Structure 1
Amino acid sequence: MQQLILNILAFFYKPFEKYIPFQTFRYVACGGGNTVLDILIYFISYNFILQKSMVDLGIVTISPHIMAFIISFSITFPTGFLLSKYIVFSESNLRGRVQLFRYFLLVAICIALNYIFLKLFVEHFHLYPTVSKILTTIIVVCFSYITQKKFTFKVKNPIVATNGETSATIQQ
């Protein structure tokens, strides 16, 4: 499946190869697809599943725009991690559990940012929930890309010996 997705992306990358690196294109394509899925699930959840109604869980009542976010997030979190790990940042040499832990930390921050911006845009600026979700997504995606590239899926530099060989070369 990984190779199939990479082949499809490589095919569509050709017109863009002079302008952006393939990794950036993969991030835009995978992140864009996952974001469209997120917004679609959010829209369907808010308008049709929740029917714009508050959700009473007994001990707490959740507003429909926040519950729609929870529903969409529960689906797009795993797809986002898998796409990032195996398609976008596949050259990362960090251990999978380190990537997952760092991705979880990043996602926790992104959840907080989503919550804060949705509350701000819907309840204080009185924007439509779907428009608020789109604005929130733009802000969070920019933050997420930088964090994933520099922290979550970074490539650790190989140890270089004094003669210029990497530790992998020396061990062979």
Structure 2
Amino acid sequence: MGFATGLRNILLPIIDFFYPPFRKVFDLQTFRYAVCGGSNAALNLMLFYVAYNFIFEGEVINFLGYPVTRYIAAYLLALSISFPVGFTLNKFVVFQRSNLQGSVQLFRYAFVTVSSIVFDYLLLHFLVGYLKFWATPSQAFIIVILSLYAYFCQTYFTFKTVKQ
């Protein structure tokens, strides 16, 4: 049994067990995406918290040879773990029927991730810096928008099924 099969065999019964109450709201793939994405977002936030509060000390950190602020170092550390976890969950649990090559999927997943980071940055600056909205509700709104953006990108671009 390979890694992908083992991951699917462990996670799918657990995720699918909680699906019935949501059956009228989401199809199964969307529910799996929400559970995997939400779990990965929680992992990212936990890693950020631990890195920011317990690993990195001082305001400027030497991160892989570059001076960065502590919160950016924590962000990069969290992303370096949550990115491969998110890709793995999407590839082997959520979008397992995609027949694109793994390298194509990885490149597209990276593109969607980087574009989400850029959109998050730009939207936050627009909403808070330009329109003077409150930061936390603005970020919450952006998370909803970018979650929808990522779902559609992952479904119809990164992990799409090509007709053969």
Matching of residues 1-172 of structure 1 within 5 Å: 1-51=7-57, 53-56=59-62, 60-116=66-122, 120=125, 137-158=143-164
* Rg (Cα) greater in structure: 1
- Give the TM-score normalised by the residue count of structure 2: 0.77
Tell me, which stretches of 5 or more residues in structure 1 are unaligned? 159-172
- Give the TM-score normalised by the residue count of structure 1: 0.74
Tell me, which stretches of 5 or more residues in structure 2 are unaligned? 1-6
RMSD: 3.0
Amino acid at match of 1:29: V
Residues 47 and 148 of structure 1: CA distance in aligned 2, closer, same or farther (over 3 Å)? same
Percent of counterpart pairs with the same letter?
36
Distance in 2 (CA, whole Å) between partners of 1:6 and 1:103 is 21
Distance in 1 (CA, whole Å) between partners of 2:71 and 2:135 is 12
Amino acid at match of 1:74: S
Question: Contact 1:39–1:134 (CA<8 Å) still a contact in 2?
Answer: no
